[in-house]
Each structure stands twice: as C-alpha cells, then as structure tokens.
Amino acid sequence: MLVLALLFASLSALQPGSVAPAHAQEIRTQPQEEQQATAAELVQEIIDDAGDNEGLKSRYQRLVTNPISPPDTRSPRATLESFLVIMQAANKLWLGVRDEFFANDDFFISPDDKEQLVLVQSLLGKAAQTMDLSGVPAASRERFSIETVLQLQEVFDRIYLPPLDDVPGFPAGSNARTNDLDAPLPDRWIIPGTSLTIALMKEGPQSGQYLFTAATVDEIPDDYEALQSLPIIADKGEDLYQYYIYTPGNLVAPQWYQYVLNGPDWLQSTFGGQAYWQWIALALTVIVLMLALAFYTRWNNRRAVPLDPAARQSRRLAPPILIILAANLFHYLCEEQINITGELLQMLTTVISAIVWTTAAWLTYQVLQTIYLWTIRNPAVNNASLDASLVRTGFRVASFMVAIVVLGYGATRIGIPIYGVVAGLGVGGLAIALAAQPTLENFISGLILYADRIVRVGDFFQFSDTAGTVEEIGIRSTRIRALDRTLIIVANAELVKHKITNYSQRDVFLFRHKVGVRYETDSETLHKVRDGIHAALEAHESVLESPLRVRLVEYGDFAILFDIYANISATDINAFLEVQEELLIAIREVIEGNGASFAFPSSTVYLSRDQLPEQKTVDIVENKSDEERPNGAPEEKAYPVDET
C-alpha cells in the first residue's frame, strides 16, 4: 500500500480541483497541432481518467503492487501508459527509501527498506517487459534492462509527448478489445518527434504484444546522451540514471560513499562511463583476487599428493569451485558495490559468465569422475573386470557429454547462438565427419569390443604377432600388457580388424604331451606305465571324461613315445597351468614308480673284433753283430705284406 500512497497521493490522484488536472484539461482543449504534455502530466492524466472507475483503479493498483502482474502491452497506448505509470511509482518509492536512509544516518539499510528496494527492482524489471530485449545476452539482461528503462525515463522527462488520445489503442488496464476500436491497430507506432517505435511482435514468446522494438532499445542510450544536457521538464526531480551509475551500492549508496564524496573532487570525474573512484576500486579488486588465487596455487602445489586415486580426484574439485566463487564474488563487488555500469559492465559480465560456465563444465566433469572413482571402490566391483571397464568408459562419455551440455547452455547465456551453431554444423557436417572419421571409427570399434565381448579386461589374447593381457578398453584405444611387461596401445579400429585369439575365453584347455621312456623298458613295464598315466588323469577332478586317451604311438630315435591327450576344465590360463603342473608331476611319479625312466637324446656306439683276411709274409734279414748272431748266421723275421 505504500506504493499506492506514493503514486496516487504524490500526483494528487483523484483530487478534483488540483492544478495538474486543470493543466491536463487545458492541454486537451488546445489545437491538435499544439497538444503536448510531459511524462508527469500524462501520468496525471491517466490517473485522472480513471476517476471513480474502481475496476480501472484496481487494475492500475495491481500494475504497481503485484510483482507478478505483467504490464499491459495489448496496444501502443497501453504499452506507453504501463511504462509511464510503473516508472513513476518506482521513482517515488526509490527516492523515498533513499532520503529516509540518509536522514536516519544509519550504517545499514533496515529490513523494511530492503523490502521496498526489492519492490523497486521488481517495478523496474516490469517496466523492462515493455521492451524487446531478445537481442541482449541473458547474462547481462537484468542489469542492462534497468539501465535502459532509466535512460528511457530520463528521455521522456526531457521531451514532450503526444496526448494519450492520439496514441492508437485502448488505455492500459481497460476491458476493451481490438474489435471495439473504430480503426484497426497499426503494426507499429512512432512517438512523434522521435524515432522511438512501439511495434507488434509477430513471432517468439512475446508474439501479439506491442513492445519498444529492439532497434529502439539499441537507440535509447544514444538518445539519452544527446538529451542529458537538456533540463528536466517533467518534474523537478534529479537524473536518476546518473545517480544510479555513479554511486556504489544497489539503488541506494552505502554510508561509506560519504568518504568518497569527502575526498578529492577528481574522484568524481568520469572516464569511459565510470567515475575515477570506480576505476580505482575495480583495479584494486582485480589485484586482490589475482593475489589470492596465486597464493592458493602456490600453497596447493606444495601439498603432498594423496596415494589414493579417489582422494586425488576429490582434490581436483577444489580449483574449479574456487574459480567459480572468485568470479561470482568479483561480479558481486563490481555490480552491487562498486556499481560498474554501461558497456564495461556488459563486457565484464560476459567475460565472467564465460569463465563461470566454462569452469562449471570442468567442475561437472570432475564431479562425475569423482563419483566413478568412489563407485569402483565398492568391493563388489572388480577393478580388473569388464564391468569396471564399462563403468569407467560410461562415466567418461557421460561426463564429457554433460560437460558439453553445460558449456552449451552457458554459451546461450552470454549471447552465443549455440542452436544456430548446431544448425550450422549441418552445412559443414560432412567436412567435420570426414575430419573426425578416425575418432568416430575408434569410438564405434570400442563399442563393438564391448557389445560383442571380443576381449575383456584381464583377458590374455593374441593378434598378429602380439600377445598380452588387456588392461583397459578406452574410448579410442585399448591398452595391452605384453608378456615382457611392455605396454602396447592399439587403436580400437585396428584391433577389431585383426584376427584375435582369445585364450581366456576357452571353456576347456587342451592337455597334450608326448612322454618318452628308454628303449631298455620291457613290454610289461610299458603296459603299467600306460595304464598308470590313464588312471592318474581319470582321478583328477578337472580332467574331462572325454576325450581322454594314453597310447604308445611311436618308436622314436631315442625313446618309446606315449601320446597323452585330454581336456581340462579351467576358468582361466592360470587355473589350467596349475592343473597341468599337477598332472605332469603325477605322470613322472607313475613312470618312476614302475621302474621306468625318461629317455633323453643319446647315441649308442657298439665295438666288436672282426677276423682279418689271410696275409702274405716276406722274410727280412736283419744284420746283427757277430756277438748277437748264433754261429755268425743272419737273423730272419717274417712281416705281413699287403698284396697290393
């Protein structure tokens, strides 16, 4: 009700005999070409026309007291009247709160005054609903709209407006309909003597409403700059737009602003749409925040890194959170305390919004990765299983997609037409698809590996000349740990194209060996060895009943060979090797227990004396001394001689 008192009482609403109604009556009796009025006089005329019409008065009351009641924009006249009435009520309430605050000399605004300022902001936002702000980025739309409505109000306070009867359409809040008019409403109406245009919106969410056009919204700051040096003719008030942009705080300057006023006069000088003290405060704020972030970065780099992967990932959440908090704090100080306005505020808001939404996408990705790491800590999930790999890949893809969605929404908030960009991808989609073909091929191949379960994490397999154990199946590539512990990374597309032998997917393992015993083993022992090995295989629980055979198959070069053939049921290669080891030891025990022994490569050399053929002899007479010869006769000996 305070708003009603300010609006109707301050304008001598519904008071017969007041000066303003008489002046309004005088305007209506002037010749058509001379009829003109100030904005304040038009508001008084609107209230005077309501008269004793309680229904119309109640609709005007709802217009300025109900925060969710939209302005009447059914015709150019209704739009203009709604703007004038709302702004008149907002200005009166705003100045009343401000003057009361400084009169009481309180350091903080009282809760009641805060509620009134909230209502003032609501009224200013409602006045902005008479404008087409579709071309303004959503991130800076609220502050821009307040500045624009204040500028338009100051423009109206410095020019004469046509009488309401000359504005096409029916009054704001009336029950009249379009078909009640003598002439159809025009699609657009221009305020005489200006280029300010109110036009019918034919598409979009505001279709069917008469609003100040987007071109007019762009033109309002230039019109204000051209007219601000002119005197205010609407009332004896002050330039509220100047007060709004050059004082700190939100609508009402805080008490500490008095120190700025008491300082040097040059602090109040302006440059680039801001006072000097605002530039100094902005620079100090930037320096303090940068020093704080640098101090945190240096401190964080000196901290010990946790060994637990989940703890390390949780620590990665701190930087994006701090960046978002710092950006919002900086925006609050600039907008609510230092009160940066105009194009500089729009630029800062755009940059801050870009930082916040980019960091929010980063934070979203890190949060989902943290959830993943804490999920796989569940003892029910085996880190080396296919389920863990699926969870890992699924969370990575989901994290990336959600982060892209957050980033796209943030782009729309700062005015980037993300939907147009997406639509434009249809034109260049072919080129992008060709450029991204390897990546898409690897991604789809990874899905094939998961869907067909060709290999799983932990499987031992072989492809081409490479063999190893699968450690991870990622979005683009698969990591394989070779037998020599070398890490091999293969693109998913390449892996799918090759012939893959997956040893870990076998339901049974073949046990086939040839055992050789010495040739000295007799036949009876051979039968015992064969039957003993067969019995040892049958007795083992992991050996399948069929096929199972132990046969003497060959007399080899150095051994009598037994062929042992059986199938072993095992879950993986390690279990098979364990069973195989047990069976090989049992076979050795059977052979040695039956008195036989293993043969090993050897050669046997047989030596024998053969009878030599009959040989001829010749007599050779050796000369000896007389002492050595009996009777002095020569000695004779016979030697074999080869016939050849």
> What is the DSSP code (8-state) at residue 610?
P
- Give the neighbor-by-neighbor strand order of the sheet with 210-212: 188-190, 197-200, 210-212
Q: Which of 233-247, 502-516, 580-594 has the highest mean pLDDT?
A: 580-594
Give the phi and the psi of residue 39 in degrees, each rounded to 5. Answer: -65, -40
Contact 72, 81 (CB under 8 A): yes
pLDDT given at position 615: 52
Residue 225 has pLDDT above 80, yes or no: yes
Residue 445 has pLDDT above 90, yes or no: no
Determine the average pLDDT of the residues in 68-77.
85
Residue 392 has pLDDT above 60, yes or no: yes
**Higher pLDDT, residue 433 or 467:** 467
For 83-117, the pLDDT digits (tens) are: 988 888 888 888 888 888 777 767 777 788 788 88
Residue 520 has pLDDT above 90, yes or no: no
The rounded distance, in Å, linking the Cα atoms of 322 and 366 is 14
Give the phi and the psi of residue 621 in degrees, each rounded to 5. Answer: -95, 120
Q: Which of 102-111, 369-378, 591-600 has the highest mean pLDDT?
A: 591-600
Contact 353, 139 (CB under 8 A): yes
Ranking 110-124, 236-250, 287-301 by mean pLDDT, the lowest is: 236-250
Ranking 138-142, 269-273, 446-450 by mean pLDDT, the lowest is: 446-450
User: Helix axis angle, 19-29 relative to 39-50, nearest 10°?
Assistant: 100
Contact 50, 56 (CB under 8 A): yes
- pLDDT band with cut points at 50, 70 and 90 for residue 459: confident
The rounded distance, in Å, linking the Cα atoms of 519 and 526 is 10
**Higher pLDDT, residue 499 or 200:** 200
The rounded distance, in Å, linking the Cα atoms of 164 and 28 is 10
If you count them, how many residues does the chain have?
Answer: 644
Give the SS3 label for residue 376. Answer: coil
pLDDT given at position 204: 82
Ranking 77-81, 491-495, 521-525 by mean pLDDT, the lowest is: 491-495
The rounded distance, in Å, linking the Cα atoms of 507 and 124 is 76
Residue 375 has pLDDT above 60, yes or no: yes
Q: Which two tokens stand for residue 404?
A: 């892209």
**Higher pLDDT, residue 13 or 257:** 257
Contact 544, 568 (CB under 8 A): yes
Give the SS3 label for residue 471. Answer: strand
Ranking 317-331, 375-389, 397-411 by mean pLDDT, the lowest is: 375-389
Q: Which residue has the tokens 């022994």?
A: 597
% of the chain with per-residue pLDDT over 90: 6
The rounded distance, in Å, linking the Cα atoms of 381 and 140 is 47
Residue 235 has pLDDT above 70, yes or no: no
- pLDDT band with cut points at 50, 70 and 90 for residue 607: confident
Terminal-to-terminal C-alpha distance of the chain: 153
For 1-57, the pLDDT digits (tens) are: 444 444 444 443 333 333 333 333 333 333 344 456 777 777 777 777 666 666 666
Determine the average pLDDT of the residues in 486-514.
80
- pLDDT band with cut points at 50, 70 and 90 for residue 624: very low
Residue 65 has pLDDT above 90, yes or no: no
Residue 616 has pLDDT above 80, yes or no: no
Average pLDDT, the chain: 76
pLDDT given at position 164: 83
- pLDDT band with cut points at 50, 70 and 90 for residue 236: low
- pLDDT band with cut points at 50, 70 and 90 for residue 189: very high
Q: Which two tokens stand for residue 441?
A: 């091929």
> What is the DSSP code (8-state) at residue 487?
E
Judged by phi (left if over 0) then psi (alpha if -120 to 50, else beta), residue 251 lies in: left
pLDDT given at position 293: 86
**Higher pLDDT, residue 144 or 435:** 144
